[in-house]
Structure 1
Amino acid sequence: MKFRYLYQLLLSHTSVLIIAFMILGLLFSQYVENLVYENKVTELRSYGEKILSDLERPSPRRPLYLEEYSNLLHARNIDVITFNRQGEVSFSRGGVYPRIELSKEEWQKIERGETVPLKKDFGRFDQAVSLVIMPRIINDQLAGGLILISPISGSREMLSEINRYLLYIVLLSLAISLLISLFLSKLHVKRIQRIRDATSRVSSGHYDVRVPSSNFDEIGDLAEDFNEMVTKLQASKEEIDSLENRRRQFMADVSHELRTPLTTIRGVIEGIRNDMIPEEQKEKSFGLVSEETRRLIRLVNENLDYEKIRSNQVAITKVTLPLLDIFEVIKEQLDLQAEEKGNEIRVVADSGATVHADYDRLIQILINITKNSIQFTSGGTITLRGSSTGSESIIEIEDTGIGMDPEEIQSIWRRFYKADLSRTNNPYGEFGIGLSIVKQLVLMHEGTIDVFSEKGKGTKFVIRLPL
């Protein structure tokens, strides 16, 4: 059985409010009661001090004074009693109190000249009263005392009236608090419900949903975290979609790349089997089969290299190498290909410039980039530059070829990006995988590679490797 969060909030708020009001009400009621009785005792004490002060004056009208005070205070519902050293009543209005019974402790305080205030006394008189017992001292000797008595029934009536109004205030405050609590509870439940609805949409595959967020409270923080989660899910979905598209494109490109040489090989073999190829053309046909076979091997090897590098299955053994010697190796290997397109490979490097890298992988990086430069340059120059500082080596491969647009620069690292060009323009077996391998190898060397190009003005690759 579910217990709705709204009702949980209301129950908890109501319980807290009721307990708080009960505690506050009891404390306030007790405080007011003590204050009323304290004021009554203070009033009786002030009257007693006045009476005792007048009794100390030598005058034959002393009993008349007591009678006048008694009549005056009786109108205020206060009785005056005087008693002697033995506790016998010497004056009381109408002789109502023949004798006063004081406790041993009260007599001790009276004898020390102390006033004894009693806020509530229930057993000494025929009704509950507040009283003050004050000593009467003559010549430093206790001559008796004075008692002022006031029934507490009037105070009780006043306290009952105060408690009644206090109850009304508590009930009204409780009602208002419950309304406010209901409003706030609904507000919080609504905010949580928005997140719940958004979660349901996300579970259905809709990652564009957002909920209002704030830094006001934890629900706002939860909404902000939810939005951040959805943003990451959306990015992940887009990445997955992109990977899926790239996978499909990869399969299409590989299929095309494999189909072309396989079709050629099959055609030649069928022609030889059916004696459709003249004897003088057979040698050329075998050469074509051999070339297409090598092309298939290069494609497979490049894909295997890419997967090994991407999954960090290639070991890198770094050594310090002279840059000038590396460039001479690249020039020697690619000079013939460059001359076929009318290009010249130039080497510019300081004799003391070095690089800290894996020899085989560095050669692979530079050959891939230089082949790209040769491919897209005709009758131009490919320049290999190298220098080293105290912290890094800088390698530049710059050509005077056709260049690229800015949007193309962002895409050249993508696998098979140049597949279409390679099928029509690339006589060197490039399949658009080379630059993907290059970037992965540079990253494995903890280096960086940047491309700067302008359409019609050439391209420059800049590689930085830490020493």
Structure 2
Amino acid sequence: MRWRWNSKFGRSLSSRLIFSHVAVTIMVLAIALGISNITFRNYLVGAQVRDLAARGQSISGVMQGYFTGTLYGPEAAYLVSVLQGTLNDRVFVLDDTGQILLETGNKRLPAAPWSEAILVRVLEDGQQFQGVLEGPNHVAEATAGVPVIAHGHIYGAVFLEAPLSNSNHTARSLTGLLLLGEIAAIVMAAILAYGFSKRLAQPLLALRETVSQMGRDNAHEVHAQEQGAQEVRELAQEFNRMADRITSQMHQLRKEAEVRDTLLAHVAHDLRTPLTSIRGFLEAIRDGMVEGEGLKRAVDIAWDETLRLKRLVDRLLAATRIQSGVGDKSLVRVSVWIQTTLDRVAPLAQETQHPLVWRQRDDAEILAIEDYLVEALINIIDNAAKWAPRATPILIDSVLSSDGATIAVSVTDQGPGIPPEMLDHVFERFVTGDKARQGSSGLGLSIVHDVMQQHRGTVTASNNPAGGTVITMTLPTYREAP
């Protein structure tokens, strides 16, 4: 269990943030520690060399008195021993030929050899020398050489040497103190990184919890809080948009499932009624129970029910075909479309005694699938014929907009109109009025709506103030590019 927790913690975003912050802190502090160590050492060595040069200046002033005869040898040696500094330092006094006249200080400190170039620089050129020389056994020593000049003449030189152990020790001590401080800083950085990482990861954890709720009951109510860093807020916004789309799709799927169930119920009902009638009459004919006029009437009724079944199947096939969007669009003249439809529905109009009157006849070209448009207009006229009283005219108008961008084709009947509460639902599937009286499947106007959507058009239903219903299809006209 503990191993699993450690493994889970090691894979979590918070732990990775902590590890990355601590790792970066360690790398930066390690680089800073190395730079600081070098800086401390160079600074301390430089300070030690400058200190030797300053004491060399003081000893050079003493030796001026010795070379000019104002000081005796023992006095000069005493003053040099006083000015030489620590017991670990060594002082060499040279004459102008490079011979050592006086040597004081720690005898155990190996003397670093002076090159000829250094002696020439100090004894002949009269310039100081400051630097680090390597003595025997590769021991580095701080070295300073100062010429003894009196009355413009170089009488000799003073060389001072000191071990670098003190500077190195001090540098190591400072580095050690800095290392302790950096360790404390790393611990503090880890604590702060833990707090910051938990705070940064909290919105993501909340978002993960929100995502885990998707698919549960009331998933449509799940929305993430838009909090945290900008990227996390944007992620939450995208999630909310996705959740809204999923919710919409779920509603659509539920609605389609309900529509499918309703379709099956309607189809079963619409098929059962004519099939029952056909079966009954066929059984009567088979059993010889009807003769003469009764036989003719039974055959006519069976034939009518067969045609009713055919219309229902054709309507279902048309709805499926139109929804699939199969077909190529071409330029269609509105006048040809309307005239073709009127020719197709002429038998229906004669049967129901509804005169078809095409009043306003504006014309235009549209880019469309003509068969779909004909099917849509047939459905509207068929719907009008079902609801309008017999022998009342059905009016068709094609009206071009003032700018010529759209053309509206409307069908007006003189029926009872549409109840106001149903105006927004008449283009939904299986929405009908008095189905028992009219025998409608509720697919006609939904097919019209699908056709208009495929052609970037609209269809509306309204009640005529003078009575009846007006169904209007509005389509964009085709215009050639200039």
Q: Which category describes the TM-score, using the shorter chain as reference length?
A: 0.7 to 0.9
Decide which of 5, 20, 25 is 2:28's aligned counterpart: 20
Return the alpha-carbon distance in structure 2 between the equivalents of residues 177 and 313 of structure 1: 66
Are the aligned partners of 1:264 and 1:292 in contact in 2 as well (CA < 8 Å)?
yes
Three-state SS of the structure 1 residue aligned to 2:472 is: strand
Q: Deviations over 1:134-178 (max 9, x none)?
A: 334578775432223445454345334323321221121111112
Compare 260-269 and 112-121 and name the one that shifted more.
112-121
Are the aligned partners of 2:207 and 2:225 in contact in 1 as well (CA < 8 Å)?
no
Are the aligned partners of 1:328 and 1:347 in contact in 2 as well (CA < 8 Å)?
no
TM-score by length of 2: 0.76
Does residue 1:106 correspond to 2:106, yes or no?
Answer: no
Q: CA deviation at 1:131?
A: 2.4
Q: CA deviation at 1:242?
A: 1.9
Match in the other structure for 1:163 = 175
Are the aligned partners of 1:353 and 1:386 in contact in 2 as well (CA < 8 Å)?
no
Match in the other structure for 2:459 = 450
Compare 290-299 and 127-136 and name the one that shifted more.
127-136
Q: CA deviation at 1:283?
A: 3.1
- Give the percent of matched residue pairs that are identical in Structure 1 and Structure 2: 21
22 and 454 in structure 1: CA distance in 2 versus 1, 3 angstrom threshold: same
Decide which of 356, 372, 380 is 2:383's aligned counterpart: 372
Are the aligned partners of 2:360 and 2:398 in contact in 1 as well (CA < 8 Å)?
yes
Three-state SS of the structure 2 residue aligned to 1:413 is: coil
Does residue 1:308 correspond to 2:304, yes or no?
Answer: no
Alignment size in residue pairs: 458
Q: CA deviation at 1:317?
A: 5.1
Match in the other structure for 1:363 = 374
Q: Deviations over 1:177-226 (max 9, x none)?
A: 12123334445666555555555544667734444455726666555555
Match in the other structure for 1:33 = 41
- Correspondence list, 1:392-431, <5 A: 392-399=406-413, 401-404=415-418, 408-418=422-432, 421-425=434-438, 430-431=440-441
Three-state SS of the structure 1 residue aligned to 2:219 is: coil
Q: Deviations over 1:354-406 (max 9, x none)?
A: 55555544333222223333444456763423337655544233456544467
Q: CA deviation at 1:448?
A: 0.4
Are the aligned partners of 1:89 and 1:99 in contact in 2 as well (CA < 8 Å)?
no
314 and 299 in structure 1: CA distance in 2 versus 1, 3 angstrom threshold: farther
What residue identity is the alignment partner of 1:168?
L
83 and 226 in structure 1: CA distance in 2 versus 1, 3 angstrom threshold: same
Match in the other structure for 2:300 = 287
Q: CA deviation at 1:248?
A: 0.5
- Correspondence list, 1:33-432, <5 A: 33-49=41-57, 52=60, 61=70, 68=79, 71-72=82-83, 74=85, 80-93=91-104, 101-110=113-122, 111-119=124-132, 123=136, 129-136=141-148, 143-187=155-199, 193-194=205-206, 196-202=208-214, 207-208=219-220, 209-214=222-227, 216=229, 223-273=236-286, 279-314=292-327, 316=329, 318-320=331-333, 322=335, 325=339, 329=343, 336=350, 339=353, 345-350=357-362, 353-355=364-366, 357-378=368-389, 382-387=395-400, 392-399=406-413, 401-404=415-418, 408-418=422-432, 421-425=434-438, 430-432=440-442
Return the alpha-carbon distance in structure 1 between the equivalents of residues 190 and 110 of structure 2: 59
Three-state SS of the structure 2 residue aligned to 1:35 is: helix
Q: Deviations over 1:245-281 (max 9, x none)?
A: 1111100011111112122223333444556657544
Structure 2 unmatched runs, 5+: none
Return the alpha-carbon distance in structure 1 between the equivalents of residues 326 and 21 of structure 2: 62
Compare 130-139 and 432-441 and name the one that shifted more.
130-139
Return the alpha-carbon distance in structure 2 between the equivalents of residues 451 and 117 of structure 1: 101
34 and 257 in structure 1: CA distance in 2 versus 1, 3 angstrom threshold: same
Does residue 1:440 correspond to 2:453, yes or no?
Answer: no
Q: CA deviation at 1:464?
A: 0.8
Structure 1 unmatched runs, 5+: none
Q: Deviations over 1:36-68 (max 9, x none)?
A: 111222233344446557867997546667854
Return the alpha-carbon distance in structure 1 between the equivalents of residues 353 and 312 of structure 2: 25
Return the alpha-carbon distance in structure 2 between the equivalents of residues 455 and 320 of structure 1: 28
Return the alpha-carbon distance in structure 1 between the equivalents of residues 248 and 367 of structure 2: 37
What residue identity is the alignment partner of 2:449?
K
Three-state SS of the structure 1 residue aligned to 2:97 is: coil
What residue identity is the alignment partner of 1:408?
M
Three-state SS of the structure 2 residue aligned to 1:74 is: coil
Return the alpha-carbon distance in structure 2 between the equivalents of residues 27 and 311 of structure 1: 74
Return the alpha-carbon distance in structure 2 between the equivalents of residues 9 and 250 of structure 1: 56
230 and 319 in structure 1: CA distance in 2 versus 1, 3 angstrom threshold: closer
